[in-house]
Every structure is written in structure tokens, then in C-alpha cells.
Amino acid sequence: MARALKYLALLGYVVFLAFPLLWLLSTALKTPQEMAALDPTWIPRRPTLANFADAFAEQDLVGAGLRSLVVAVATALITVALALPAAYALARFRGVAGKIAIGWVLVSQVFPVVLIIIPLFMVLRRLELVNTLAGLTVVHVTFVLPFALWMLRGYVRAVPRELEEAAAVDGAGRLRALAAVVAPLLAPGVVATLLFSFISSWNEFMFALVILKDPEVETLPLTLVRFVGPEGVARLGPLAAASLLATVPSLVFFAIIQRRLRSGLMAGAVKG
Amino acid sequence: MTALAERPYGRAGGGSRRGRRRGPRSGGGLALLLPALVPVLVFSVGPLVYGILLAFTDARSGRNTETSFVGLENFAELLSDGDFWESFRIGMVWGLSVTVLQFLASLGLALLLNQDLRLRGVARVLAVVPWAMPPVVVGLMWRLVYHPDAGLLNGLFGSDVDWLHDFSLALPAVIVVGVWTGMPQTTVVLLAGLQNVPRELYEAVSVDGAGPWRRFWNVTLPQLRPVIVAITSLDFVWNINQFSLVYVLTQGGPGGRTRLPMLFAYEEAFRYGFFGYAATLGVAITIVVLAVLGLYLWRQAREGD
């Protein structure tokens, strides 16, 4: 009896979580005629891939995808390059300055993004970087850096200090000890942080909306919103098709780092 | 643990040799802290301090406008701005209800996932998918679900409702999407917390003859408390600062019924060009969030004792 109830509850969750996803998939495969029908169908009667072709024809999905890729890759690389030495320092040298820095990283999460985007917008405008991918990359780095720092610091702390010291005592010197002993152990964490930064940038919408004004420089999330016209009259099939495609990179990368992200989030949430 | 284990070793080995090693090490530390402090200062502290200062100015978006310090004028204007209060009210309803519903739904799911049930694998995968999706796609996807003609809901219920444009239904409809998107993080964290509850505690109360409900109430919940406090606090901060999802779903409509504070601030700043005023709004929201969190954490800490 209790077991049956549990299954019923779990089934309820599965339905709630899955039905919008299935509906998106179903809409992407439907013909316009079938979509206009009064009774909606779950499984398209005559499944079609025409919506995908239409999506590419209607909007510059390839261009937007490439621009998103450039920004996301640049964001990931710059973020990790800035955060790695910082995370190492914060994990290994626990002075007052380090404590204040890591405390700030936590506190900064409370501030709403408007407080960051307005000053950044003003600075970028002065530097003539509004409406450029470089400008958006700068904003994304700012936005991702705190959490990346937090994640990396956790991974550095997981590398036993004794290992490093043993290598240093053997006369390897601090830098060689870092390269030979710490780097290999840290590599999975660095990869996870790179992918996390990539996903954050690839998915990001608000900053792109503020920084990028012309269709020629738009990233993918902005182009997707374009499928919904000014009157909200959308071409639903191509919209669904394009949405599915835009989700693939995030989903794949996320599957890879899921486990590590979980431990990172836990370290952040519980240890405080 | 490791810190405790290291200390006596360090003391035992303490001598002139260790003293000499200390000097260059902390020097190297300072040199290494520089790369830590510079990015944090340039990319995080700098913009935020600038943003907060803007709240006390009449900064506008125009290129050649003069900006001057106006003290608390923006705050006074904000307090008498009916649109702000309406947006603020909607933001609190949204933030609190999404956080509470997210927590309850996620706790239920985490408890189920922590048991030996058949569908668990599927549910586990499904439970993290929304986390990986771009918020824009989540918004567009739910627009398809809510669509008055080609949508799923009206077909299912045989109703003829324009969910996202109905004055009284739009906010609840958007809250459902908020819960759907935010469940993964909360579920994952709660599940990890559940798995960290020591088994012996359950065995101890089972010996006392406690049923599942008492076990949950007397063991699981108290053990989970720190995790719950942490994740609900984070969720509240994330939810109150939500923008993309609701922008894509309704753009704040109909008639401002879903205009969360961040949408209001976005419009003030980037549609009307009132940078200073929008920054004031950001500062006000920060103060409210800190106050709510402070009260919540203080109460939890007191009850925890």
C-alpha cells in the first residue's frame, strides 16, 4: 500500500518533469496543419523535419550559434585562467585578505544583476565595446568568475597539502611541485569548471540583451526569442526545433560534469 | 579534520628550520594572493561599488548627459512610486511562493529518489535536465505548453484560456514554471544531504519503535536542517533576482501582473534610460533580500540551538 503510493508519487514527478520536454519535441516534429488542429496530439500523425529546415531558413541560427560558441569558449578560458591562481591562493594561504576575498565571493551573490550590468554597460560604452562580442565576453567573465572561483577553491582544497610539500622537500621547487603533482590531480576539476563556465555563458540571456543591439552580432538566446515576433505570434514549429538544437551543447556538457557540480555545490552550500 | 591532524605535527617540527621556511612562504603567498585579489576587485567589487554609488546619482543613459550626486532623492522617489511597490509585491509573492513550493516539491522527490524504487533512474535524469537548459528555451517551451490555440493545457482540459495573458492566472502560471526550473538544484542538494544522514541514527530510533513519520520528523529533518537552510536561502536569492525566464514568458505582462523587480529595473535602465533610478531599485532589493535572509537565518540559528 505504502509502496504503491510512493510509486504513484514518483510517477507524478516524472510526468510533471517530462511533459513540457515531450511537448517541445512533439511540437518540433509537427506540421503547421496538425498544430492548428483543435485536439492536440502527443505523437505527430505525420512527423516532419521541415521545422528544422525552416528554422535555419528563417533566422541566422548558424551565425548566432557560432557567435555564442566564440563567447562561451572565450569566457570559459579567461574565467579559468583568472580563477585558477586565485583559487589556489585562497585554498592554500588562509590569511585575512583571503578570508575577506572568499567572503566577498559569497556576499556578491546576493546583489541583483542590475547593479552589475549598469556600471559595466557604462564602462563598456566608454571603451566602445557595446554591441561587440568582446564586450559580452567581459560581462560574462564578471558574471561567472565568483562561482568558478568557489568551485576551483574546493578542488584545490581536496588535493592534500602533504603531497605538494613532499614534492617540494624532494627539491622539486614550488612551481615544479605544482606542475608535477598538483596539476594532474586538479585537471578534472579544471575541466568541470571550464564546462560550467561554458554552459553559463552559452545559456545567458539578460546581459546579451543589454549589450548586443544588432542582429548581426546576436548570440543564440537572442535569436531564439526573435522567433516570437513583436506581437507574440510565433511560428511554433521552427521555434520548437531551434530551441531543441540550442539546448544540445548545454545538455551534453552538463551530463559530463553533473557529478562534480553536485559536489561543488554541496561544498559551497554546506561548508559556508 | 585534516586541519586538526596537521597542527600537532607542525608544532612538533617547529624549530628554527621551520621558522626560516615560513618567511619566503608567506611572501610567496602575498604574491599569489595578488592574482586572487585583482580579479575579484576588478570584476566583482569594482562594478558593484560603482553600481551602488550610481544609486545616489541622477545618471542617465545619454552619452553626453551630466551626472550629479543627488543624495537620497532616488530613494524618496522610489518609496512614493506606486509601480515600484506593485512590482515589489509581485516579486515577494513570486520569490516566496517559488522558494517554498520548490523546497516542498524537491524534498518529496529527494525522499523518493533516496529509496529503492524502480522508476528512480528515469526520475534522476529528468530531475536534472531543467538545470542544463537555457532559461530562454525553458521560457519558450512553456509558452508552447500554455499556448491558447496550439498549446497542451487547453487541449487537455478542453478549456479556452490564454494562460499567460489572463490577469489573475498569469502569475500562478509563471510560478509553476519557476518551480519546474528550480527543482533540480534543490533536489540534488537535498538528496546529497539525505545520503549523509548517518544510518545509525535511523537504527537507534527504529529500536525505539518509531514509525516512518516519526523517523522523518525526529531524525531526517533535524539532520537535514543545515542543508535546508542553505539551499532555501540560495533559492530565495536566485528567485528574487530572476529575469530571463519571466521576460521570455510574459515580458512582465499582462498589465504588469508578472513584472518582477528585475524586469522593472531593466525597463527603467534600458528602455527609459534612468540608470541612477534603476541602481536605486537594485540597492533597495538588496536591502530587502538581506533583511529577509538575516531574519530567516537568525530564527533558524536560534531554533537550532
Q: What is the mean pLDDT of residues B162-169?
A: 84
Q: Which residue has the cell 561567472?
A: A144
Q: Measuring CA to CA, which residue among B43, B143, B208 is closest to residue A142?
A: B43
pLDDT of A235 over the 90 cut? no
pLDDT score recorded for residue A234: 63
Give percent of chain B above pLDDT 70.
88
Minimal-distance CA residue of chain B relative to A239: B140
Query: What is the reported pLDDT for B95?
Result: 94
| Residue B174 contacts residue B166 (beta carbons within 8 Å) | no
Percentage of chain B with pLDDT > 90? 33
| Listed ranges A170-174, A265-269, B298-302; the one with the highest mean pLDDT | B298-302
**Using an 8 Å Cβ cutoff, are A140 and A199 in contact?**
no
Min Cα–Cα distance to chain A from B137, Å: 6
pLDDT for res A263: 58
Tell me the C-alpha to C-alpha distance, in Å, between residue A80 and each of A152, A254, B1, B120: 9, 17, 29, 35
Main-chain dihedrals φ then ψ at residue B81, nearest 5 degrees: -95, 105
Distance CA(A114)–CA(B51), nearest Å, equals: 8
- In the predicted model, what is the mean pLDDT of chain B? 82
Each residue's pLDDT tens digit, B80-137: 888 899 999 999 999 999 999 999 999 999 999 888 888 788 888 888 888 889 999 9
Question: CB contact, 8 Å: A69 with chain B?
Answer: no
Q: Which residue has the higher pLDDT, A90 or B247?
A: B247
For the stretch B185-213, pLDDT in tens is 899 889 888 888 888 888 887 777 777 88
At A172 the pLDDT is 65
A192 touches chain B (CB under 8 A): no
Model pLDDT, residue A141: 92
Check if the beta carbon of residue B95 is closer than 8 Å to that of residue B241.
no
Residue B4 contacts by C-beta under 8 Å, 6 or more apart in sequence? Answer: none
Task: Note whether A236 contacts B289, CB cutoff 8 Å.
Answer: no
The better pLDDT of the pair B244, B18 is held by B244
- Provide the pLDDT confidence category of residue A226 given band limits of 50, 70 and 90: confident
- Better-predicted residue by pLDDT, B222 or B151: B222
The 3-class secondary structure across chain A, one letter per residue, is CHHHHHHHHHHHHHHHHHHHHHHHHHHHCCCHHHHHCCCCCCCCCCCCCHHHHHHHHHCCHHHHHHHHHHHHHHHHHHHHHHHHHHHHHHHHCCCHHHHHHHHHHHHHHHCCCHHHHHHHHHHHHHCCCCCCHHHHHHHHHHHHHHHHHHHHHHHHHHCCHHHHHHHHHHHHCHHHHHHHHHHHHHHHHHHHHHHHHHHHHHHCCHHHHHHCCCHHHCCHHHHHHHCECCCCCECHHHHHHHHHHHHHHHHHHHHHHHHHHHHHHHHHHHHC
Q: Which residues of A touch B136 (CB under 8 A)?
A: 203, 205, 221, 224-225, 246
Burial of B120 (0-12, 13-18, 19+ CB in 10 A): middle
pLDDT one-digit tens code per residue, B43-63: 788 888 999 999 898 888 877
Confidence of residue A166 (pLDDT cuts 50, 70, 90): confident
Is the pLDDT at A48 greater than 50, yes or no?
Answer: yes
**Measured in whole angstroms, how far is the alpha carbon of residue A177 from the centre of its chain?**
32
Residues 6+ apart with CB under 8 A from A200: A75, A140, A143, A144, A147
pLDDT band at B1 (very low <50, low <70, confident <90, very high): very low
Of residues B296 and B66, more confidently modeled: B296
pLDDT for the residue numbered A181:
77
Which burial class, exposed, middle or buried, applies to B51 when counting CB atoms under 10 A from its CB (0-12, 13-18, 19+)?
buried
Res. B23: pLDDT tops 50? no
Residue-wise pLDDT for B218-236, tens only, equals 888 888 988 898 889 889 9
Question: Counting Cβ atoms within 10 Å, is residue A227 exposed (0-12), middle (13-18) or buried (19+)?
Answer: buried
Provide mean pLDDT across the span A146-157: 86
Is the pLDDT assigned to residue A116 strictly greater than 50?
A: yes
The DSSP secondary-structure symbol of B222 reads H
Helices B275-304 and B46-54: angle between axes, nearest 10 degrees: 110
pLDDT range class, residue B148, cuts 50, 70, 90:
confident
Residue B128 confidence (pLDDT): 83
- Beta bridge pairs of residue A197: none
Task: Note the pLDDT of residue A220.
Answer: 92
Reading the block at residue A121, the C-alpha cell is: 554597460
Closest Cβ–Cβ partner in A87, A246, A270 for B230: A270
Name beta bridge partners: B69: B57
- State mean pLDDT over A88-106: 78
Give the Cα-Cα-Cα angle B86, B92, B98 (nearest 5 degrees).
Answer: 130
B200 exposure class (CB count in 10 Å sphere: 0-12, 13-18, 19+): exposed
Q: Evaluate whether ipTM surpasses 0.90.
A: no
Residues 6+ apart with CB under 8 A from B212: A2
Among A54-68, B18-32, B258-272, the minimum mean pLDDT is found in B18-32
- Cβ distance of A20 and B141 shorter than 8 Å: yes
Find chain A residues with C-beta within 8 A of B230's C-beta: 269-270, 272
| Residue of A17, A29, A169 to mutate, testing the B interface (most B Cβ within 10 Å of its Cβ) | A17
Chain B residues closer than 8 Å to A174 by CB? 28
CA separation for the pair A147, A153 (Å, rounded): 10
Identify the band that residue A206 occupies on the pLDDT scale cut at 50, 70 and 90: very high
Residue A147 at interface with chain B, using a CB cutoff of 8 Å: no
Give the CA distances from residue B256 to residues B75, B168, B180, B253, in Å, rounded to whole numbers and listed in that order: 22, 11, 22, 5
Q: State the Cα–Cα distance between residues B89 and B85, nearest whole angstrom.
A: 6
H-type alpha helices, B133-259: 135-146, 152-157, 170-195, 199-207, 212-215, 221-240, 244-249
- Residues of A within 8 A of B116 (CB-CB) are none
Tell me what pLDDT residue B281 has.
Answer: 93
Collapsing DSSP states into helix, strand and coil, what is residue B252?
coil
